[in-house]
Amino acid sequence: MTGDDEVRWLEPDELAAWMSLAALLFKLPGVLDYQLQRDSGLTHFEYLVMAGLSESPDRSRRMSDLAGFSNGSLSRLSHVVKRLERRGFVVRRADAEDGRITVAELTEAGWEQVVAAAPGHVAAVRQFVIDALDAEQLGQLKAIGDQIHRQVDPGRPC
């Protein structure tokens, strides 16, 4: 650990920006998770996984690609996919080209579930994020999010 003389302490404006972001990082996921659980019985992460599959050709993706799409680790994804399998929303199978690779596929029941959940989720995203900003702020939000994302995960394209 470094001494206090080596720490670049946050200036008041930097601290205010950080505290605002930190509060958002805690509050927004809970609001989105609550809406999805209340209306669809899905967690936000489950919804992201199913949405990622629904947007893919043949409604399937390699588990490693799906982990990247959903910003989750393979371990976390594996647990969530197992839960979704038990509910009949997803199946796992070996990749046709490389049997060592596992592919997750959205079932018809999963498709119906994500289609039913999407309007409420989009309404919540619109209410809590999109409609709170003007067009210029939305562009800034994307640029800021992409820049921070590159710092946190340099290997993942934004």
**Cα atoms in the 13 Å half-sphere on the side-chain side of 114:** 22
pLDDT given at position 3: 59
Answer whether CATH 2.40.50.100 is correct for domain 29-117: no
- Whole-model pTM? 0.86
Looking at residue 97, the DSSP 8-state letter turns out to be S
Cα distances (Å, whole numbers) of residue 139 to 20, 52, 146: 19, 23, 11
CA-CA distance, 91 to 151, in Å (whole number)?
34
Domain range summary for the chain, segments of one domain joined by +: 29-117
For the chain, 158 residues long, give each residue's pLDDT as a single digit of tens: 455 679 999 999 999 999 999 999 999 999 999 999 999 999 999 999 999 999 998 999 999 999 988 888 899 999 999 999 999 999 999 988 888 899 999 999 999 999 999 999 999 999 999 999 999 999 999 999 999 989 998 877 76
Placement of tokens 């995960």 in the chain: 153
Quick one: 117 exposed, middle or buried, by C-beta within 10 A (0-12, 13-18, 19+)?
buried
Placement of tokens 């921070």 in the chain: 148
Contact 101, 62 (CB under 8 A): yes
